[in-house]
Structure 1
Amino acid sequence: MEKESVLPKNKFSNSSKQLVLLGTFLLLFGALATAYFFFPYFQEMQLEKMNTGFDHILKYVGFTLLAIQISFLIYLFVLYLKYKVVKPVDNESLPTSTIIVPAYNEGELVYKTLISLAESDYPEEKMQLISIDDGSKDDTWNWMLKAKNELGERLAIYQQPKNKGKRHALHRGFKLATGDIFITVDSDSIVEKNTLRNMASPFVGNEKCGAVAGNVRVLNRKKALIPRMLNVSFAFSFEFVRSAQSTLGTVMCTPGALAAYRKEAVLNCLSDWINQTFNGQPSDIGEDRAMTNMILKQGYHVLFQRNAFVFTNIPERYKNLYKMFIRWERSNVRENIAMSKFAFKNFREGAKSGTRILLLNQWVKILCAYPLLLVMLYFIVSSPLLFITSALVSILVLSSVQALFYAKKHDISDSFWAYPYSIFYTFTLFWITPYAIATASKSGWLTRELPQKKMAMALNKN
């Protein structure tokens, strides 16, 4: 499945990996031992707190939320067991497809992306490849020219007069597209040889299929600690969660890294999509979730293809990572509001309860963000030892779900990274959702900007 040739060289030494994992498990099992030895103390503390009405309420609300999440996880598991990937069709049955690659400050990676797409196992006469430079300030255009020189008429490249954002670059691509299926691929992503065929196959003979989400894996997982940790989380998010959502025909978001759309479905909502606003301001983020919503609203199903792999770069530094998460969460807030306007109506034929359950679970996360943050601060102040111990024990238990899933599907040794990532997220990224809710009206991509030094070099060249 995974081609080592496309993966960056390992810049994260074995000794560093072992040290991180050792520290993680010492911390987790230390918390487990603390919970065991201090159990009488914690129990006495809990009994004292139960005398207050506030703590009594907290207990029952906490158990209720836990029961809801466990029930939802079981529900997803049942759906996951029912999931079936759509088998690839032969060349004659494949539809014509337009592959659109928007690029901004991507450098050499856009060249590698375009070459990997051109080398796909897809009939050349049925494939239109378009790439659009969205006003990059680096050498992205030069790498696109290199790809053009090598691929000739197989590739068409365009430049935006200025940076307008990914949504506008995609819009231009959609307008230029001639295929029956539009496939969008991020410019820092490498596809496997059979990915495009697997993405287009679900549309064949299934008129209800309006969009397909690809299976996103981490390209730079060997380069740094953060990508290595997120690799397990990505696998669980796509191969478990989206498989379950696909069984309902309601994948909540077709990822920007790899997504496919029926031409008619896109054209039906293209004007609303490019002119979308939130709180009176043009929307320049969350274009993938917005397109997914608008296609679902038309009554189409959105599916997931587990056998359509794309390897994409993710941030290696904390600052870039939290900016990416803020952008995602702001989009979730906006699009949950948009989805709520049609999901509880008769928006499509057949069962709709599953779609509504998925949306309600999204709302539980958003609505509980501030109360849970306040509760966390309350316990940190009133019972710091109990809070840290219970948090780490919970991480040990819940992360084991992701770790076991990854170990079964992929590699046992990499599965252990589910534990340090959960610790990392719990203690350094807990603020993302509350902050995103408070700043949901703000726009801006936040990432993809050149460092000041590189920016100066690029300006000097020009």
Structure 2
Amino acid sequence: MLLLVIALAVLLLSVIPHIVYLLGIMFGKKSVATGSPETYPGITIILSAYNEERVVADRIANLEQCRYPKEKYEVIFIDDCSSDATLARATASLEKSGITYSIIANRERLGTNRSYNQAMKLARYPVIVTTDADVFFEPDALDILIGRLMSEAKIAAVTGDLRPRMNGCGTTRLEGEYRSFYGRMCDWESAVDSTYNFNGALVAFRTDLIRRIDDKRGSDDANTAFEAIRRGYRTVYERRAVVYEDIPTSFAVQYRQKIRRAKRLIEATLANLDLLGKDRPFTRFFYPLRIFMFVITPTLFFIALALLAIGLFFTYPLVLLALVCITAIVATVWRENLFNAFAVNQFYLVMGLLNMGKDTRTWESTSKKK
């Protein structure tokens, strides 16, 4: 019985940050909506790609459909040593589009962080938008994103809301459930102060405030936000600036993608611990919660489950069997529930922790998954 009490106590401890965020979402401060910028600033869109021949033409067509004035932006396309026809198809599509563009063809795999830093040196405009070749903007996403960025002098960087393109697949619906809660968490952080939980699919920042992205470790999106926060500025999550991505229908492909993302997010989280001494809401409240959430929660969660299973096995084996059966039925029949999304996310975070020693600065294509 004591083991069961300990297991439940550890389980409760593991979810404390999520309870805090749930309360914040329900009762906390809300972000104030902004519109399109009064004056459209010139922006440089840096688009990175590796083996995206299947989608790159559609991606460039998607950029053309954006409502942001075409004469107000340029595109720097980076091909990170693709082994397929990505570079040729991107070049042909950009040439037909009428978009002002330049192309960087890396001679060796650099990954997003180093590629972005290289491209930033060539940017013509003071606002940078970084994005991927396998995601798709809503037509007004850039307008809303830049409008939010220009709405306050203290805002140095803004990210959009990444959502899965629905295809009827179970992994897509589950990801959608997780993304909905994730976005609301980040929105609460933004309303109070800042968030570093950016989506690399759509990030905008001012180069007079952020001059480079840490390219040694961690994800480019989180590192961009941390650089702004370190310099005393705000970073915000704009849920109305929507960008979509395809979710792998193959669990193996999604597994590799999610582990890489989790590992790089944890890296960025642990690389900025010196910020804990700063006196602002982000560093005093949200950042410690995120450290707990990304490092301690997944560890405690699975320890608690193991202790609970052992305790029930020796005291109430039939209860354990019933719980396993109920969990399996719920996971099969009602996959897209918040508990499933939470449990799967904890698994990816644990695997991210176990992969901390690996170099994942380069990436693989996950578009048009099979």
User: Could you say which TM-score interval applies, normalised by the shorter chain?
Assistant: 0.7 to 0.9
Q: Which residue of 2 aligns with 1:260?
A: 204
Q: Which residue of 2 aligns with 1:459?
A: none
Q: Which residue of 1 aligns with 2:358?
A: 442
Q: Which structure dedicates a bigger proportion of its chain to helix?
A: 1
Cα separation, partners in 2 of 1:318 and 1:66, compared to 1, 3 Å = closer
Q: Which residue of 1 aligns with 2:195?
A: 251
Of the three residues 32, 35, 38, the one matched with 1:84 is 32
Aligned-residue offset at 1:301: 0.3
Answer with 61-70 or 177-186: which moved more. 61-70
Q: Which residue of 1 aligns with 2:281?
A: 353
Cα separation, partners in 2 of 1:393 and 1:447, compared to 1, 3 Å = farther
Cα separation, partners in 2 of 1:374 and 1:112, compared to 1, 3 Å = same
* Counterpart contact for 2:174–2:335, Cα < 8 Å: yes
Aligned-residue offset at 1:68: 5.6
Aligned-residue offset at 1:431: 3.5
Cα separation, partners in 2 of 1:395 and 1:72, compared to 1, 3 Å = farther
> What is the DSSP-based 3-state SS (H/G/I as helix, E as strand, rest coil) of the residue aligned with 1:367?
helix
Q: How many residues align?
A: 361
Aligned-residue offset at 1:396: 11
1:131-142 matches, within 5 Å, as: 131-142=77-88
Deviations 1:398-431 (A, max 9, x none): x9xxxxxxxxxxxxxxxx7532x743763x6654
Cα separation, partners in 2 of 1:396 and 1:103, compared to 1, 3 Å = same
Cα separation, partners in 2 of 1:57 and 1:445, compared to 1, 3 Å = same
Cα separation, partners in 2 of 1:307 and 1:388, compared to 1, 3 Å = farther
Question: Does 1:217 pair with 2:163?
Answer: yes
Question: Does 1:294 pair with 2:238?
Answer: no
Q: Which residue of 2 aligns with 1:12?
A: none
Cα RMSD of the aligned pairs, angstroms, is 3.1
Cα separation, partners in 2 of 1:157 and 1:62, compared to 1, 3 Å = closer
CA distance in 2, matches of 1:450, 1:243: 27
Structure 2: stretches of 5+ with no match in the other structure: none
Deviations 1:77-108 (A, max 9, x none): 223x5222222124xx1211111101101113
Q: Which residue of 2 aligns with 1:94?
A: 40
CA distance in 2, matches of 1:143, 1:388: 55
Deviations 1:107-134 (A, max 9, x none): 1312211221123212223211221111
Deviations 1:346-366 (A, max 9, x none): 4xxxxx234432222222231
CA distance in 1, matches of 2:305, 2:141: 43
Of the three residues 285, 290, 296, the one matched with 1:362 is 290
Deviations 1:432-462 (A, max 9, x none): 32332233121125852599xxxxxxxxxxx
- Give me the TM-score of the superposition, normalised by structure 1: 0.70
Of the three residues 154, 179, 182, the one matched with 1:234 is 179
Taking only the aligned residue pairs, the percentage that are identical comes to 19
Cα separation, partners in 2 of 1:390 and 1:344, compared to 1, 3 Å = farther
Cα separation, partners in 2 of 1:235 and 1:296, compared to 1, 3 Å = same
> What is the DSSP-based 3-state SS (H/G/I as helix, E as strand, rest coil) of the residue aligned with 1:264?
coil
Cα separation, partners in 2 of 1:300 and 1:67, compared to 1, 3 Å = closer
Cα separation, partners in 2 of 1:159 and 1:242, compared to 1, 3 Å = same
Cα separation, partners in 2 of 1:223 and 1:177, compared to 1, 3 Å = farther
CA distance in 1, matches of 2:220, 2:118: 14
CA distance in 2, matches of 1:265, 1:438: 34
Q: Which residue of 1 aligns with 2:340?
A: 423
Query: Counterpart of 1:73 in structure 2: which amino acid?
Result: L
Q: Which residue of 2 aligns with 1:114?
A: 60
Please tell me whether Structure 1 or Structure 2 has the larger radius of gyration of its CA atoms.
1
Question: Does 1:377 pair with 2:286?
Answer: no
CA distance in 2, matches of 1:391, 1:363: 30
Deviations 1:296-353 (A, max 9, x none): 111110112222111112222111212222112212322222232113224xxxxx23
Deviations 1:200-247 (A, max 9, x none): 11232521010001011112x216331233123223322x11211110
Cα separation, partners in 2 of 1:135 and 1:66, compared to 1, 3 Å = closer
CA distance in 1, matches of 2:325, 2:187: 29
Question: Does 1:191 pair with 2:137?
Answer: yes
Query: Counterpart of 1:376 in structure 2: which amino acid?
Result: L
> What is the DSSP-based 3-state SS (H/G/I as helix, E as strand, rest coil) of the residue aligned with 1:101?
strand
Query: Counterpart of 1:89 in structure 2: which amino acid?
Result: P
Cα separation, partners in 2 of 1:76 and 1:394, compared to 1, 3 Å = farther
> What is the DSSP-based 3-state SS (H/G/I as helix, E as strand, rest coil) of the residue aligned with 1:418?
coil
Q: Which residue of 2 aligns with 1:407?
A: none
Query: Counterpart of 2:110 in structure 1: which amino acid?
Result: K
Query: Counterpart of 1:197 in structure 2: which amino acid?
Result: D
CA distance in 2, matches of 1:204, 1:368: 36
Cα separation, partners in 2 of 1:256 and 1:392, compared to 1, 3 Å = farther
Query: Counterpart of 1:322 in structure 2: which amino acid?
Result: Y
CA distance in 1, matches of 2:51, 2:45: 20
1:381-400 matches, within 5 Å, as: 381-383=310-312, 385-387=318-320
Which of the pair has the greater relative contact order for Cα pairs under 8 Å at 6+ separation? Answer: 2
